[in-house]
Amino acid sequence: MSHPAYELVTDPGRLAEVAARLSTAPALAVDTEFVRRTTFFARPGLLQLSAGDGEFLIDLVALPDVSALRELFLAPRPVKVMHSCSEDLEVLKRLFGAVPGSLFDTQVAAAMLGHPLQLSYQKLVKAILDIDVPKDETQSDWTARPLSDAQLSYAALDVRHLLPVWQRLSAELAARGRLAWVEEDCARLLRDAARETSADDYYRNIGSAWKLRAPQLAVLAALARWRELAAREYDKPRSHVVPDPVLFLVAQRRPQTLQHLRAIPDFHPMSLRKYGETLLRIVRDTPVDIVLPPVPPPLPREAKPAIAALREVAAQAAAGLGVEVEVLVRRRHLEGILESVRNGQPALPAMLEGWRRPLVGDALLTAALARETEIRGWAAETADVE
């Protein structure tokens, strides 16, 4: 069966025509091609769109301004159909200043029907449509021009089959009463993608931050804030500015001289030359009386049996539904439940509210509360710091 040829769009006038044409479709297949190897922000190359009757490949190098598509993307209709969309949402947010107004993620949907949680687009198309999709151009430089016919054909295939897959999955989900599950989870994906994390909070993502005393934690927060802003300004990965372990050691030791900085392991000489004086200034200027919300320590080793018990509750629920257990709950959520009981404020993580609560959330909380005496008796993790 032949397919309509794709169209490479490089002209602003044609882009506006494409936007008008696609706005009347019930659903829109969406994918992006980008490069992100040595930069903080993804560098977009193509935006692929299809309403089911051919593919439009929007050249984001020739057309860096795609505001003609903004209304189309921000509207709730057509529904935007994507596969494994987290990085694509980041690219789209940069392009349009906001996340799409709707979303159906075919990877999420397939997992709720019993397919593997991390099923690739190629494997999903094969499973649902029995069509082979090549993977030959996955490592392409999508910002180099001109793009080859092979690259363009590959990019077109990434949206060519999305809408037939969406239709099949939607029908089966509706028949099994699970369509609302996907809608809820996709809405959460959009909310998470839209949320802006303050640069003041990035210290909480640095491993071992919980080990630091209050004055050291204040320094780490200041260092992490500076690095976040610098990474964005210079468009470099955070680790290329100063890696997490170095930031942690600077905060822990609070060096006062460049010689002290040089003694920190794995501090690249180039970064030391470029940022050393700045780091020393941050250490010197951070007030010692700042008290930040502490970073909670990990659960102790003695928590392993309780985690295993909760996971077994989730596994039984997942088996009854015919899905992988991670569709219902991840380890971090189990740990969050146990930590809430340990702190005397039993609660479910946000992900376990909604459709998951009656299926597994309430059972998990009940199982955790049955071990409350044990949990409250766990010793706190401690760490010696300099």
- In a domain? residue 1: no
Q: Following CA atoms 314, 316, 322, 324 in sequence, which dihedral angle do they give, to the nearest 10 degrees?
A: 40
Cα–Cα distance, 249 to 322 (Å, whole number): 46
| Selection from 197, 23, 30 nearest residue 103 by Cα | 30
Phi-psi region of 100 (alpha: psi -120 to 50; beta: other; left: phi over 0): beta
Residues 225, 240: one domain? Answer: yes
At 291-329, the pLDDT tens digits run 898 898 999 999 999 999 999 999 999 999 999 999 999
What residues make up the domain containing 315?
301-376
CA–CA dist 158, 50 (Å, integer): 10
What pLDDT, on a 0 to 100 scale, did the predictor assign at position 136? 72
Q: What is the pLDDT of residue 1?
A: 45
Over 60: is that where the pLDDT of 101 sits? Answer: yes
Examine the domain organization and report whether 277 and 149 are in the same domain: no
- Which percentage of the chain shows pLDDT scores above 90? 93
pLDDT given for residue 3 in this prediction: 58
Indicate whether 167 and 53 sit together in one domain.
Answer: yes
212 and 203 Cβ atoms separated by less than 8 Å: no
| Residues 160 and 240 occupy one common structural domain | no
| The predicted structure's pLDDT at residue 294 | 86
Helix or strand run (H / E) with residue 29: strand 27-35
Average pLDDT of the chain to the nearest whole number: 95
* Same domain assignment for residues 185 and 95: yes
Q: What is the pLDDT of residue 310?
A: 98
Contact 378, 302 (CB under 8 A): yes
Number of domains in the chain: 3
Q: What is the CATH number of the domain that holds 340?
A: 1.10.150.80
Rounded Cα gap, residues 254 and 332, in angstroms: 32
For 185-226, write each residue's pLDDT tens digit.
Answer: 999 999 999 999 999 999 999 989 999 999 999 999 999 999
156/266 same-domain check: no
Does residue 274 belong to any structural domain of this protein?
yes
H/E stretch holding 28: strand 27-35
Whole-number pLDDT of residue 4? 59
